[in-house]
Chains A and B, each alone.
Chain A
């Protein structure tokens, strides 16, 4: 991919992802929000591909878009509340303005820091056999990720299985008929 194509694709993806993210919080209907979120997740997966994170991009689509968002949609349709319920007036109308201002300040401050702050330390890059690019070149993308996961983070990986088991049990207990 040429440099210009890369930059164009970045900007297209950035605009699209931000727009769909705004859709998540602006649509009144929860189903629309969920669909918008799925779009955002897909655009993020493309970002990951652009950054060479093949496995993560696939997992993003499979787990987020495939599993989690299906769960969301399921619950949304199950609990569909009338969005135009007159009783449901916003009791904190001023919070919208405050949140918007604070959000702008936050983005501005973070951008300022990112653009004007000290550049990242080059020495922090991995080198030699540690480097991801080398392992990818020798063994392939998925193998590189697997090595990192099971060499450095096997304990954390095992703990996630426990977390998931606990979450399943918790969901079962909460969802049971009282």
Chain B
């Protein structure tokens, strides 16, 4: 059954190879056939794998592990390339290939005018391959392979418009930070191999029998006594990888910059799928996180801080893609909070619904940017509801979903996380429960902030009057060129220009709106697979039940507590909505604010500047000094010294080479005499 997953993996890889090698010569229709076709095949196989899994009873038998081939055998270390099909990987594969397919379709419209059309789809297929490899691998080593490859795909796609210095700088930043994470993951794998002698998950293998081998890390870790330091180091190193990939504090800086890539890339990689790999890894290896009492609280604290931190930045940003980027970071923080409360399925649930509505938000933003010819600044928008009706409605649904307004998808999953936090807080004793109370408070506060900044964005784009001056002429592919609009000096003149310019804006083509509509439907009803714990009817939680064999059952909360949590988050969300409506309902007006907190958040807490001052400049200085000292002084000097020594020796030595044959004969005679004298002396 797991071998079905091979057919999920292979088509995107083939597509990548075909497009990469031949794409330049293929006509547009052929490129789309290959790109869409391979992902569609992949999606169909993921769907059939999912359905075949559903057909298995009882639930605990829903796992299939197939070794495709053995990669390396070195002593105790046996590395198999194996595919694991279980509820978790099936869910992830459905999300990846499903959302991926929709974004592939959408990209055909968004990238229509780009000269790198074939290259774009080749990279996108490569990303799908890497991501499916990441989630379907049955051991940590191949997870690492997929982990690295998605980082590479992300690098290639962020730097897709490589003519722009900003894009290549962002790509470099993303790669460097991702490599920090890869390093953490590697160290974790080394530790696991050193202490447990295996890198397989070993999920569904034989149960732990002390003193025997043959089961994977997840079972082995639970029965072998690891030192308290090791059992904390492993999950923390894993979480370093998760934080880098999923943009958690302090490794989040690359994600806002990654918005330099094409918008479908932001939707696919930097919102819906790749950045959730960290959430997946925590869920997949949650056994390791429970070994130490400190691991999960640390994960939760970082997640909660990230959620609030990113939300405050998102409140002030003017670039619509950056608002969405910070909102993604904030939502990822939610997912980690949910997992830290022991409710891994809540994290996965939010991952799934987030994939729908965040992809929808990005694609909607992409549609706006496309219609405006590359304009991303909210100050140049407004009033677009009249011109882009489909985008308007789908965007509204997505905003409602992310703000946690019932009955949209985000409400259910966010509620699940907050309830889990409160449940954990009340069920724990000791000081750690205050942490969870605090996290719950952060979550509720962030829910309000989320509604505020999302509606600010929504009003800024679609409501009020149009503030811009028509679509940019040169398109989004090279939008960093200076605008050359005619001077419009007076405000009145500018508004008049704006009103007529509004009619130059047109709704995007159907190839882009169809994915929007499908995602809007998913964002509306997607929550129905999830938590209805509020109604105390467990059969209404199919996703939880489906994931339970892998992730274990989440702690059950009291009904009153759940209603309390839900009510609080809903109140805050509505409050945020109300504030946004009061302030921005009549259209977004940008005012330069002198408020220090505002300036702080607007400048992203100066994290980049601090990083440059504290980290990059000292490192650069160190590097320059070391280069001057080591390379200039030691290495160059050393080699010059050796060279000079040899040249001195040979300057003396060459005088022996007089060129006179008789002289050489004399040397022979000296040798002969010395040999004879040796015999004389020896006697």
Binding site for B on A (CB under 8 A): 91-92, 95, 98-99, 102, 105-106, 109-110, 112-113
Residue in A102, A110, A113 whose beta carbon sits within 8 Å of that of B670 in the complex: A102
Cα–Cα, bound, A106→B666 (Å)? 13
CB distance from B659 to the nearest CB of A (A): 10
Complex interface: chain B residues within 8 A of A110 (CB): 676
Complex interface: chain A residues within 8 A of B666 (CB): 95, 98-99, 102
Residue ID in chain A nearest B680 by CB atoms: A109
CB distance from A73 to the nearest CB of B (A): 24
Cα–Cα, bound, A63→B274 (Å)? 97
Residue ID in chain B nearest A106 by CB atoms: B673
Cα–Cα, bound, A105→B672 (Å)? 11
Further 18 A-B residue pairs, CB within 8 A, beyond A91-B660, A92-B658, A98-B666 = A92-B660, A92-B662, A95-B662, A95-B663, A95-B666, A99-B666, A102-B666, A102-B669, A102-B670, A102-B673, A106-B669, A106-B673, A106-B676, A109-B673, A109-B676, A110-B676, A113-B676, A113-B679
Tell whether B30 is near chain A: CB-to-CB under 8 Å: no
CB distance from B427 to the nearest CB of A (A): 103
Complex interface: chain A residues within 8 A of B680 (CB): 109, 112-113
Q: Across the interface, do A106 and B672 meet the contact criterion of CB distance under 8 Å? A: yes
CB distance from A118 to the nearest CB of B (A): 10
Cα–Cα, bound, A92→B662 (Å)? 9
CB distance from A176 to the nearest CB of B (A): 25
CB distance from B408 to the nearest CB of A (A): 102
CB distance from A9 to the nearest CB of B (A): 30
Cα–Cα, bound, A95→B667 (Å)? 11
Complex interface: chain A residues within 8 A of B658 (CB): 92
Tell whether B600 is near chain A: CB-to-CB under 8 Å: no
Q: Which chain B residues in 628-683 approach chain A with CB under 8 Å?
A: 658, 660, 662-663, 666, 669-670, 672-673, 676-677, 679-680
Cα–Cα, bound, A110→B676 (Å)? 7
CB distance from A167 to the nearest CB of B (A): 21
Q: Across the interface, do A92 and B673 meet the contact criterion of CB distance under 8 Å? A: no
Q: Across the interface, do B663 and A92 meet the contact criterion of CB distance under 8 Å? A: yes
Residue ID in chain A nearest B658 by CB atoms: A92
Cα–Cα, bound, A92→B660 (Å)? 9
CB distance from B84 to the nearest CB of A (A): 78
CB distance from A126 to the nearest CB of B (A): 27
Cα–Cα, bound, A11→B660 (Å)? 38
Complex interface: chain B residues within 8 A of A106 (CB): 669, 672-673, 676
Given contacts A95-B666, A102-B669, contact A109 B660 (CB under 8 A): no
CB distance from B618 to the nearest CB of A (A): 66
Residue in A91, A105, A112, A113 whose beta carbon sits within 8 Å of that of B673 in the complex: A105
The 12 listed contacts between A and B (C-beta, < 8 Å) are: A92-B660, A92-B662, A95-B662, A99-B666, A99-B669, A102-B669, A105-B673, A106-B676, A109-B673, A109-B676, A109-B677, A109-B679
Complex interface: chain A residues within 8 A of B673 (CB): 102, 105-106, 109
CB distance from A116 to the nearest CB of B (A): 8
CB distance from B671 to the nearest CB of A (A): 11
Cα–Cα, bound, A110→B680 (Å)? 8
Complex interface: chain B residues within 8 A of A99 (CB): 666, 669
Cα–Cα, bound, A151→B669 (Å)? 37
CB distance from B387 to the nearest CB of A (A): 97
CB distance from B566 to the nearest CB of A (A): 109
Q: Which chain B residues in 571-614 approach chain A with CB under 8 Å?
A: none
Cα–Cα, bound, A172→B102 (Å)? 91
CB distance from A173 to the nearest CB of B (A): 23
Complex interface: chain A residues within 8 A of B679 (CB): 109, 113
CB distance from A15 to the nearest CB of B (A): 24
Cα–Cα, bound, A113→B669 (Å)? 18
5 nearest A-B residue pairs (beta carbon): A109-B676, A109-B680, A106-B673, A102-B673, A102-B669
Complex interface: chain A residues within 8 A of B677 (CB): 105, 109
Complex interface: chain B residues within 8 A of A95 (CB): 662-663, 666
Residue ID in chain B nearest A103 by CB atoms: B669
Complex interface: chain A residues within 8 A of B672 (CB): 106
CB distance from B444 to the nearest CB of A (A): 103
Cα–Cα, bound, A63→B614 (Å)? 95
Cα–Cα, bound, A91→B660 (Å)? 9
Cα–Cα, bound, A112→B680 (Å)? 8
Complex interface: chain B residues within 8 A of A91 (CB): 660
- B339-358 CB mask vs A (1 if < 8 Å, else 0) is 00000000000000000000
Cα–Cα, bound, A168→B679 (Å)? 41
Cα–Cα, bound, A48→B333 (Å)? 111
Cα–Cα, bound, A151→B677 (Å)? 39
CB distance from B683 to the nearest CB of A (A): 8
Cα–Cα, bound, A92→B665 (Å)? 13
Complex interface: chain A residues within 8 A of B669 (CB): 99, 102, 106
Complex interface: chain B residues within 8 A of A98 (CB): 666
CB distance from B15 to the nearest CB of A (A): 72
CB distance from B679 to the nearest CB of A (A): 6
CB distance from A174 to the nearest CB of B (A): 18
Cα–Cα, bound, A105→B658 (Å)? 25
Q: Which chain B residues in 268-306 approach chain A with CB under 8 Å?
A: none
CB distance from A109 to the nearest CB of B (A): 5
CB distance from A120 to the nearest CB of B (A): 16
Cα–Cα, bound, A112→B663 (Å)? 27
